[in-house]
C-alpha cells in the first residue's frame, strides 16, 4: 500500500473518533473552519444553494461543521483512506439522528462521503458536475511531487463553476523557514517537515496558478496563533522542561488573536476561476 495512505489508515484506525485524527493541533482545525465559514459568509451571501467538494476530507469534521452552520451548503467529500471515510460516515449518521430527534434541519441529504483518490478526479466525478467551491485542507501537501500537486490544481479548475473558488489550507516553505529562524534565535529547535508532506514555494505557486485562475490570493490567517503556540508557549515549555500540550488554554484562546506576520506555514489560498 502507498505509505501515505497507510499512515492515514492507521491514524484513523487508532483515533477512537477523536478530533486529533488529522492533526494533533485540534484548535488549529477550529481556526481553519472559522476562516472557511467567514469566507462563505462574505462570498456567498445570497443564501442560494452552494455546491462544495472537499478533497481529502479526512474524518469529515470540516464538512460537517460547515453544513451544521450553513443550511444551504451541499458537500461531497472524498478521501483515499477507507478508515477516514468510515469515521466521517459514522459522524454523519450520528448527527442526522440527533437532527431528526430535535426536529432540526435535515443534514443527511446534503453531505456525502466517499472513498476516492484525488489523483483520479476525472473518474471519481460525474461528467458535467461542477462546484461553487472546492476545498483542500492540508491535502495537496500529501501529494509527493510537484507535477501531481499542480495537475490537481488544474483539474480542480476544470471542475469549478464560472466564478467558483478553489480554497486551500496548504503549507508554504517560506513561512516554515521564518518560524524556524525565530525559534532558533531564542534557542528552540527547528520544527521538521513531516516525511509525508511536500510544501509549496510561494513564487512558483503564484506563477502557475495565475495562468489558470482570474484571482490568486495567499492569506496568512494563523500566524499569530502559530507565534503564540510555537514560539511563546514553546519557550515556556522549554523553561519548565515540559512537553507542549495541544489542549493547553493558550491553543484554545489563541484562535481568537488578530492575524499578524507570516509565521504559520499553513496559509489560506483563495483562487477564483
Ligand atoms: C492532513 S489530513 C487533513 C484532513 C482534513 N482535510 C482536515 O481538514 O482535517 C490529509 C487527508 O488527505 C487525505 N489524502 C492524502 N492524499 C490523498 C489522495 N491522493 N486522495 C485522497 N485523499 C488523500 C488523507 O487520507 C488525509 O485524510
User: pLDDT tens for residues 44-85?
Assistant: 988 899 999 999 999 999 999 999 999 999 999 999 999 999
**Domain 3-272, CATH number (from 3.30.420.40, 3.40.50.150, 3.10.520.10, 3.40.50.720):** 3.40.50.150
Q: Work out the average pLDDT over 93-105.
A: 74
Which pLDDT value is given to residue 128?
75
User: Is residue 152 within 8 Å of residue 143, measured between CB atoms?
Assistant: yes
Which residue has a Cα nearest atom 23 of ligand 1? 56
Does 119 contact ligand 1 (Cβ within 6 A)?
yes
Report how far residue 83's alpha carbon sits from residue 101's, in angstroms, rounded to the nearest whole number.
27
Q: Which atom of ligand 1 is nearest to the CA of 62?
A: 8
Separation of alpha carbons 223 and 186, rounded Å? 18
Question: What DSSP string runs through 132-185?
Answer: EEEEEES-GGGSSSHHHHHHHHHHHHHHEEEEEEEEEEEEBHHHHHHHHHHHHH
Q: What is the pLDDT of residue 265?
A: 98
Mean pLDDT across the stretch 212-221?
A: 98
Residue nearest to ligand 1 atom 4, measured at CA:
58
Measured in whole angstroms, how far is the alpha carbon of residue 244 from the centre of its chain?
23
pLDDT value of position 17: 85
Q: How far is the CA of 102 from the centre of ligand 1 (A)?
A: 32
Flag whether pLDDT at 121 surpasses 70. Answer: yes
State the average pLDDT over residues 258-272: 97
Closest CA to 26 of 57, 62, 52: 62
102: confidence class by pLDDT, cuts 50, 70, 90: low
Average pLDDT for the chain = 95
Q: How far is CA 221 from the centre of its chain?
A: 12
Q: Give yes or no for residue 243 having a pLDDT over 70.
A: yes
How, if at all, do strands 215-219 and 266-272 pair? Answer: antiparallel
- Whole-number pLDDT of residue 98: 77
Give the torsion sign (CA, 121, 50, 40, 78). negative
Predicted pLDDT at 97: 80
Left (φ > 0), alpha (ψ -120 to 50) or beta: where does 189 sit?
beta
Tell me what pLDDT residue 258 has: 95
Mutational pocket test of ligand 1: of 12, 124, 142, the residue with most ligand atoms within 8 Å of the beta carbon: 142
270 and 177 in contact (C-beta within 8 Å)? no
The pLDDT of residue 103 is 59
Q: Higher-confidence residue: 136 or 16?
A: 136
**Location of C-alpha cell 511563546:** 232
- Cα separation, 207 vs 43, in Å, equals 25
pLDDT of residue 105 exceeding 70, the answer is no
Is the distance from the beta carbon of residue 57 to the nearest atom of ligand 1 less than 6 Å?
yes
- In this model, does residue 23 exceed pLDDT 90? yes
Q: CB atoms < 10 A from the CB of 200, how many?
A: 26
- Number of Cβ atoms within 10 Å of the Cβ of 228: 18
For 115, the enclosing helix (H) or strand (E) is strand 111-115
Q: Where are the domains of the chain?
A: 3-272
Q: Torsions phi, psi of 227, nearest 5?
A: -65, -40
Q: Residue 104: its pLDDT value, please? A: 62
Distance (Å) from CA 257 to ligand 1 centroid: 27
- Give Cβ neighbours of residue 94 (< 8 Å, ≥ 6 apart): none
- Residues 164-213: pLDDT tens digits? 999 999 999 999 999 999 999 999 999 999 999 999 999 999 999 999 99
Amino acid at each position: 500500500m502507498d505509505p501515505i495512505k497507510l499512515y492515514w489508515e492507521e491514524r484513523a484506525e487508532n483515533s477512537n473518533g477523536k478530533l486529533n485524527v488529522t492533526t494533533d493541533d485540534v484548535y488549529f482545525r477550529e481556526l481553519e473552519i472559522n476562516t472557511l465559514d467567514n469566507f462563505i459568509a462574505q462570498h456567498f451571501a445570497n443564501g442560494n444553494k452552494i455546491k462544495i467538494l472537499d478533497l481529502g476530507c479526512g474524518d469529515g469534521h470540516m464538512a460537517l461543521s460547515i453544513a451544521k452552520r450553513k443550511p444551504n451548503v451541499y458537500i461531497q467529500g472524498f478521501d483515499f483512506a477507507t478508515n477516514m471515510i468510515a469515521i466521517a460516515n459514522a459522524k454523519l449518521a450520528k448527527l442526522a439522528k440527533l437532527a431528526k430527534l430535535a426536529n432540526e434541519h435535515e443534514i443527511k441529504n446534503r453531505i456525502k462521503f466517499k472513498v476516492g483518490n484525488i489523483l483520479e478526479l476525472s473518474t471519481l466525478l460525474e461528467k458535467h458536475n461542477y462546484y461553487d467551491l472546492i476545498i483542500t485542507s492540508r491535502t495537496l501537501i500529501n501529494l509527493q511531487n510537484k507535477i501531481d500537486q499542480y495537475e490537481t490544481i488544474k483539474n480542480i479548475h476544470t471542475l469549478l463553476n464560472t466564478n467558483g473558488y478553489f480554497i486551500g489550507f496548504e503549507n508554504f516553505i517560506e513561512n516554515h523557514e521564518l518560524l524556524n529562524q525565530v525559534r532558533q534565535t531564542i534557542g528552540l529547535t527547528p520544527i521538521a517537515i513531516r516525511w509525508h508532506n511536500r510544501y509549496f514555494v510561494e513564487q512558483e505557486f503564484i506563477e502557475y496558478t495565475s495562468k489558470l485562475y482570474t484571482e490568486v490570493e495567499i492569506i496568512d490567517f494563523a500566524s499569530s496563533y502559530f507565534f503564540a503556540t510555537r514560539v511563546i508557549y514553546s519557550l515556556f515549555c522549554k523553561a519548565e522542561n515540559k512537553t507542549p500540550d495541544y489542549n493547553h488554554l493558550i491553543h484554545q484562546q489563541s484562535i481568537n488573536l488578530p492575524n499578524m506576520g507570516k509565521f504559520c506555514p499553513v496559509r489560506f489560498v483563495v483562487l477564483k476561476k
